[in-house]
Amino acid sequence: MNQSKNFVLTGMPRSGTTYLACVLYYPPHVITISEAKGCWKHGFQQHGKGTWFVQMFDEFRTNILQGKNVPTFEGTPGFLGHTRVDTWNQKKIMRRIEAHPDFALGMKNPEVFLELLESFSRAEIRCVITVRHPLFVINSWVKRGEQQVARGKSLEHTFANGKSVTYHSPLPDVVDRRIDLHNYFARHIIRYKHDPNIMLIRYEDWFTDPQQLSRVCHFLEIPSLGYLRPAPLLPDPLILARDEQARILRGCSIAEELGYPVKNHTLKAQNLPVRKPYL
């Protein structure tokens, strides 16, 4: 099947990939699916890298056109703007989505899709990669880890412990493992950031650049609402200890290649963004 109507949303985990999926959800012309109940994780575990994703795209497109229920954030508190759009804390709704016969289909996944960037590019599937300042990425990992522990769940296979579906950091110290995992993802992004089928955006720019949405839609060749729906919410304050923040700023200087300023081999800290009037 022709892949020209398919696109991919990926990026650094906890960088706003789910938010972008919601912003671009515009049925019947544009439909985005976030995570899809673990199918990408399971597909990667079974097949690794390759073109198996083509069949997955085709199955989702067929199910939507046949009026079958698919997982969506439409109708959730985050989509309605009542709270943060969050893959981890909001259960998706299984529902039928009205679709134009020639609709654009976007699939979102951070960690697995980063492993498949070369395959996506070869298939001429356009990809939007979202990045975010490392302090706030890792801060979000740690916050989620604390939520896991509070619910009686293990921290073992979590970003907060330096582990993902695609990479387990071997380092003995937990802060070093978090930095190592961040840099593992960053290296994948940097390797492909100049690919003509890939667009790199920063989460922070949703608060400062009113043209970012139109550029994304132009790149993907899809229609746009012309405004952000839902509006982005300000990030959570940092809960990381000052020592860990300093180690992250030193250890994640690779983020300079993603657009974050570095001085003396150390990332500059970043203040919380300020909501602009146009939001």
203: Cβ–Cβ under 8 A, 6 or more apart, which residues?
Answer: 15, 16, 19, 130, 131, 132, 136
Asked whether the beta carbons of 29 and 126 are under 8 A apart, the reply is no
Confirm whether pTM is higher than 0.75: yes
Distance from C-alpha of 155 to C-alpha of 145, rounded to nearest angstrom: 6
User: Using 50, 70 and 90 to split pLDDT, how confident is the model at 279?
Assistant: very low
pLDDT at position 78 over 90: no
Q: List the CATH number of the domain containing 62.
A: 3.40.50
- Taking phi over 0 as left and psi of -120 to 50 as alpha, with beta for the rest, 264 belongs to left
Distance from C-alpha of 249 to C-alpha of 241, rounded to nearest angstrom: 12
Residue range of the domain that includes 191: 6-267
Angle at 178 between CA 264 and CA 17, to 5 degrees: 95
**274 located within any domain:** no
pLDDT at position 1 over 60: no
**204 located within any domain:** yes
Q: Nearest Cα to 201, choosing from 15, 3, 8?
A: 15
**182 located within any domain:** yes
Report how far apart, in Å, the C-alpha atoms of 213 and of each of 7, 26, 110, 152, 204 are.
15, 13, 19, 39, 13
pLDDT at position 278 over 70: no
pLDDT at position 277 over 60: no
**275 located within any domain:** no
